[in-house]
Structure 1
Amino acid sequence: MIITNSLDEVKKREKALSIIKNIVESKGRDSLFDLTGLSGGFIASPSELSLLETYVGPAIFEEDLQKVGRQHMGGEKILPLNRTSSGILATILALVEKDSNVVHYLAELPAHPSIPRSCKLVGANYFETDVFEDFSIPDNTSLVVITGSTMDHKVIDEEEFRKVIDLAHENNIPVMVDDASGARLRTVVFNQQRACDLGADIAITSTDKLMPGPRGGLMAGRGELIDKIKVKVNQFGLEAQPPLVLAMLNGIKNFNEENLINSFSRKDELFKLLNEKFDYFETTPTGVMISPENLAKEISVPHNLSNNDLAFVLSFILLNDYGIITIPAVSMPGASATIRFDLSTNDAFNLNLNDLCKKIESSINKLQDVAINEDKCREIVF
């Protein structure tokens, strides 16, 4: 195996970032194609940048963020954070007691690792399921968690969404929704209601997912719970700093629903092209993907790599050879190793889908050639 622990994942990410830097410096930004769906952005005018002081920035921009944030997310109050994971941690620190239960329903396992890790930090018992009939709320449960859209963009059924919320509230238990990409994917593409409008007490989204905002977290929900969570946020330095607040504000203002809708139609064209060459690609709401397990089925040569290793190597071939950025190359430890080609990003609009298909085919063929040589694969990743 190539990737065996979290440190390995950190090291491969450092390598990927160095490759990206070299491509930008030697060929220019136009030679990179970020298809992660997490490309985000930082939209700001010179006059706004001049106000990014420690105390002036929040005074100027946080009130406006409250307004646009409520329009985007619903809820009574908005809380900006430095990461979605930070908001999840702060919520569990604020609402979950040691030895109590946290139960989680999502469309497909596994959950984002920040949720069970946060439960472990406070000494809570954690249970997750993607089978609705198996979901239950035991005694001494302090928090119910719902994921609106998984790391691989599997979207929850709205009727099941409502039923889980209703069941929690019948037991007087608050509901937190991890709506990292779902705050836009569910509402725009699947016409679902915002999490807070469905009755969630807390919802959090990632402001770089499927929108032109920064890597940060935006929480919405009931005012008294937001205030309670905000105490923990400030105690542990999890709050969004002024530059993030400004970029979140402008990211939401510049969010274009048409981009998601257009990617929804283009993904079928790309899938059709890939389906002529391969057997195991799948569609996502905004593109195509291949899981590590399915990628392994496409590789016919004998090898000693894990399924995730194959995905990591392929992601580095795509990056090295064609400047295509996918999540496994740049992800944080514990993230899904599924390779997604998201067509909602700005870079995707400039790609010819026939050309993209040829590059993906060439990269998988190269993976086929090198998979038998573990040392060569390790060299590619590290």
Structure 2
Amino acid sequence: MLVNSLGDEVNKRDASLKIIKSILQSDGRKGFYDLTGLAGGFPILAEDKALLETYAGPAVFEEAIQTLGKIHLGGEKILALNRTSSGILAAILALVNEGDEIVHFLPKSPAHPSIPRSAELVGASYREFEDITQFEVSDNTSLVFITGSTMDHEIITLKDFLRVIEISKSHEIPVFVDDASGARLRTVVYKQPRAMDMGADITITSTDKLMDGPRGGLMSGKADIMIKVKTKAHQFGLEAQPPLVAGMVRALENLSPERILEAFITKHDLYNGLVNDFKGIKETPTGVMLKSGELKLELDNRGIVTDYSHDDLAYLFAMLLLRNHGIITIPAVGMPGTSSTIRIDLASNDAERITIENIIDAFNETLEQLIKIIDDTKACKSVLYY
């Protein structure tokens, strides 16, 4: 094993950031391509800068975030948070007591780690389901989660979504929809309604996923629940500060579905160019993905034997993509505990600067580079940890 702990994942991420800094110093911003779909941005206007103060900012941007947030998510009240994970934690702190149960339905396990970790923090038990025929709640369930789109962009079906709402409502249990990227993918690509319009009590999205906002969380919900969540958020410093809220406001103003829809079409060209050499490659709504287990199978098919874990191989592949081709994917830069799936998102801003052919060549060359070093543990660690 090359990556044995969350600490190792932190060190790997630190190494990735050093590589990105080195590229910036030598080639500038044009030297790398962030294809994670999480690049976000900070599109504030020049006149906003003078208002990014502790009290002036909220006075100006609070009304705007309420208006634009309701347009995007629906609901009665909006809350901006410093991360989606912060909103999930604030909601669990507000709505779940020690000894309670949290039940989670998602189209494909595992869940984002922020949900079970927050459950553990308050002393609640946690169960998750991906088969709607097995989904159930208990007398002890105080909160139900639905994930609209997983970390690997598996999308919940409308039928399953409505069934979880129905079961939860019959037991008077509030429903929280984690719609980090789903608030765009579900609605734009799959034409599903907004979570609040389908009966959710609270929902949250990430303002840097498939949109150009800063990394933050935008939450909407019923007014009575949102007051409780907002109180907890402020108690623990989880709320977004004025600069972040300003960036969210401008990103929502600029939000357009066209880039997502274009990526939905062009992904086929990328998939068709990779599938002959990467049998396990899969299409996502806006790109392609290669799961860590599928990468291991690619090596097996070439007669390459290794004891490294599936995650180790994915991390190596992602770091080589970054080091040698300037392509950023989530396994290289993701926070500890996030998916090790290598995903190319063509809805990313930088996808406009790199051709499909360049990406295909980079994948093929990276696999060959991985094969060359696979038996050299020292070389592999050097790739991971700079």
TM-score, normalized by length of structure 2? 0.98
Range with greater deviation from structure 2 (81-90 or 353-362): 353-362
Q: How far apart are the structure 2 equivalents of 1:193 and 1:309?
A: 38
Q: How far apart are the structure 2 equivalents of 1:220 and 1:168?
A: 19
**2:370 is aligned with 1:367:** yes
Q: Which residue of 2 aligns with 1:245?
A: 245
Q: Which residue of 1 aligns with 2:381?
A: 378
Q: How far apart are the structure 1 equivalents of 2:135 and 2:376?
A: 44
**2:379 is aligned with 1:348:** no
Q: Which residue of 2 aligns with 1:298?
A: 298
**2:224 is aligned with 1:224:** yes
Question: How far does residue 304 in structure 1 lie from its aligned partner after superposition?
Answer: 2.1
Q: Tell me the amino acid that sits aligned with residue 375 of structure 1.
A: K
Q: Which residue of 2 aligns with 1:120?
A: 120
Question: How far does residue 227 in structure 1 lie from its aligned partner after superposition?
Answer: 0.6
Paired residue secondary structure (2:53): coil
Q: Within 5 Å, give how 1:45-84 maps onto structure 2.
A: 45-84=45-84
Q: Tell me the amino acid that sits aligned with residue 35 of structure 2.
A: L
Q: Within 5 Å, give how 1:1-382 maps onto structure 2.
A: 1-299=1-299, 300-382=303-385
TM-score, normalized by length of structure 1? 0.99
Question: How far does residue 263 in structure 1 lie from its aligned partner after superposition?
Answer: 0.2
Paired residue secondary structure (2:198): coil
Question: How far does residue 276 in structure 1 lie from its aligned partner after superposition?
Answer: 2.4
Q: How far apart are the structure 1 equivalents of 2:20 and 2:231?
A: 38
Q: How far apart are the structure 2 equivalents of 1:277 and 1:170?
A: 49
Q: How far apart are the structure 1 equivalents of 2:163 and 2:298?
A: 39
Q: Is the contact made by 1:305 and 1:374 (CA closer than 8 Å) also made in structure 2?
A: no
Q: How far apart are the structure 2 equivalents of 1:6 and 1:265?
A: 37
Paired residue secondary structure (2:52): coil
Question: How far does residue 49 in structure 1 lie from its aligned partner after superposition?
Answer: 1.1
Paired residue secondary structure (2:379): helix
Paired residue secondary structure (1:89): helix
Q: How far apart are the structure 2 equivalents of 1:371 and 1:218?
A: 42
Q: Deviation per CA, 1:214-265: give whole Å up to 9, x if none.
A: 0000000101101100010000000001110001111111111000000000
Q: How far apart are the structure 1 equivalents of 2:368 and 2:361?
A: 10
Identity %: 50
Q: Is the contact made by 1:303 and 1:373 (CA closer than 8 Å) also made in structure 2?
A: no
Distance 1:375 1:304, change over 3 A: farther
Gaps of 5+ in 1: none
Q: Deviation per CA, 1:31-63: give whole Å up to 9, x if none.
A: 110000101000011111111011111111111
Range with greater deviation from structure 2 (300-309 or 180-189): 300-309
Gaps of 5+ in 2: none
Q: How far apart are the structure 2 equivalents of 1:18 and 1:355?
A: 24
Paired residue secondary structure (1:278): coil
Q: Deviation per CA, 1:313-371: give whole Å up to 9, x if none.
A: 11110000011000001011110000000000110012211121011110111111111
Aligned pair count?
A: 382
Paired residue secondary structure (1:197): helix
Q: Tell me the amino acid that sits aligned with residue 295 of structure 1.
A: L
